[in-house]
Amino acid sequence: MDLVANNLSYKPDDQYHLNEVSFNFKEGNLYTILGRTLSGKTTLLKTIAGLLTPDSGEIEFDGKNFLKIPVWERNVAMVYQQFINYPHLNVFENVAFPLKQRKIDQSVINEKVMDALNSVGLVGYEKRKIQELSGGQQQRVSLARSLVKNAKILLLDEPLVNLDYKLREQLRDEFKNLFSKGLADETILIYSTTDPRETMELNGEVIVLDEGKVLQVGPAKEIFENPNSLKVAEISNDPPMNIIEAKISDNQIRFEGIDVEAPQHLSKLTEDGLKIGLRSSDIELNENGHEFEVELAEISGSETLLHLKRGYTKIIVSIEEVLNFKIHDKVKINFKIDRAYAFHADGKLASSPFGGLNG
């Protein structure tokens, strides 16, 4: 049973929330919608769920016009980024709610609810009130509630975004476990996130969304290795990919008075307005490197993010250790230029180190 959408558009104000979105989701697969905030991820999921009606376009599921079916008959489950539960019910009643809406035997309900609670690790909490749970537990309750009904389509809208770092890691692993157990092979799993790392770890089919438009579709690895445009490269990297305006001539990449020998996949690109893309992890500190000035140094976890500047060029370097820098310090860096990407002036990918296009 496929979920097919054709040219979905939704424009409630002067901006497109969805702009001609089309996709073809197949059962038993995991789809990740990657996009920045306000890119239309939630709108898309709500449209699939039936909470929003698009201005134009079609959704078909199992050959039937999905848009004609009211929300409560769609057999869709959804987990929101806010922890949405029923505040007046306890944990058990919360999870049982979707089943109570159908005529199901109480004994079957009990069994299914306990099953679902078991798979999210909340056995023993049945009688608790929702308000007495932590954020992570509340999100588990809503996850259990979405699992219990065996929906054909399971929508997860940034389910981890409001959790703290530790819980996020933990719950993400549990998600992966749940997904890999193959939540039954008939489910279409749609997971939206802003986090490129999450996208790579989930390793499903990725849909990159920006300003309501689908920019690229493909396996996670493909998106990461061969982003088809500057935008995708920015969205699918955190910190965003460094973009350097450079010129290539005589086999040299030239910018801000620096000459770097161009690797083979870039050497033939001599056009104007070329942009070189380099991940922050593909730049390293090196005594013999080029001098840059520190604008800001942030330490996040075990990583240091250096915001550097030289002339008009600003770059971010991530270093896998905790280092103390002061503003205006001079540092010397080296580019792993063979991992560089090149984009045309219009933002389209010109060449990638993984063999995209000219490479």
Partner 1 sequence: MNFKHKYFFLFPGLFVLIGILIFPIIFVVRLSLSGWNSYNPGLDYIGLENYIRLFTDDPRFWESFFRLSFLSVTTVILQYVIGFALAHMVWKDIKFKRFFRVLFLVPMMTTPVIMTVIWRTFFHESLGPVNDLLSVFGVAPKWLTDPVIAKFTVIIVEVWQWTPFMFLLLLAGLLSLPKEPFLAAAIDGASPVRKFIYVTFPLMAPISIGAIIIRLIEASKIMDTVYVLTSGGPGTSTETSSFYIFIKGLREFQMGYAASMSFTYLIIMIISLTIIAKVLTKVLLKE
Residue number with CB closer to partner 1 (76 or 133):
76
Would you count residue 137 as binding partner 1 (CB under 8 A)? no
- Counting contacts by CB under 8 A, is residue 72 touching partner 1? yes
Closest CB to partner 1 among 48 and 333?
Answer: 48
CA–CA dist 267, 145 (Å, integer): 55
Q: Are 31 and 189 in contact (CB under 8 A)?
A: yes
> In the complex with partner 1, which residue's Cβ is closer, 6 or 150?
150
73 scored as a contact of partner 1 (CB under 8 A):
yes
* Strand, helix or coil for residue 35: coil
Distance CA 148, CA 314 (A): 50
Q: Work out whether 98 is an interface residue with partner 1 (CB under 8 A).
A: yes
> Shortest Cβ distance from residue 12 to partner 1 (Å)?
13
**Nearest to partner 1 of 73, 272 (CB atom):** 73
Among 84, 104, 161, 357, binds partner 1 (CB under 8 A): 84
Nearer to partner 1, 154 or 316 (CB): 154
**Interstrand relation of 283-300 and 330-335 (parallel, antiparallel or unpaired):** antiparallel
Q: How far is the CB of 50 from partner 1 (least distance, A)?
A: 8
* Continuous segment of H or E residues that includes residue 114: helix 106-119
C-alpha torsion sign, points 251, 255, 257, 258 = negative
54 near partner 1 (CB under 8 A)? no
Task: Give me the phi and psi of 358, to 5 degrees please.
Answer: -65, -10
Q: By the 8 A CB rule, do 263 and 353 touch?
A: yes
The answer to the question of residue 88 lying near partner 1 (CB under 8 A) is: yes
82 lies in the binding site for partner 1 (CB under 8 A): yes
Beta strand 153-157 with 188-193: parallel, antiparallel or unpaired?
parallel
127 binds partner 1 (CB under 8 A): no
Contact 4, 60 (CB under 8 A): yes
Angstrom distance (rounded) from CA 293 to CA 289: 13
Q: Which residues, in sequence order, are CB contacts of 107 under 8 Å at separation 6+? A: none
Q: Which residues, including other chains, have CB under 8 Å from residue 356's CB and lie 6 or more apart?
A: 225, 226, 228, 349
Tell me which of 53, 68, 87, 131 binds partner 1, using CB under 8 A.
87
Figure out which of the listed residues 71, 184, 327, 345 binds partner 1, where binding follows CB under 8 A: 71
Tokens 């549990």: give the residue.
174
Q: Does 102 bind partner 1 (CB under 8 A)?
A: yes
Applying CB under 8 A, the span of 29-37, 71-79, 277-285, 300-308 interacting with partner 1 comes to: 71-79
Among 7, 65, 75, 270, binds partner 1 (CB under 8 A): 75
Shortest approach of partner 1 to residue 312 CB, angstroms? Answer: 46
Task: Give the CA angle between residues 280, 283, 286 to the nearest 5°.
Answer: 145
- The least CB distance from residue 71 to partner 1, in Å, is 4
**Which lies closer to partner 1 via its Cβ, residue 4 or residue 89?**
89
Q: Interface residues with partner 1 (CB under 8 A)? A: 49-51, 70-73, 75-78, 80, 82, 84-89, 97-98, 100-102, 142, 145, 149
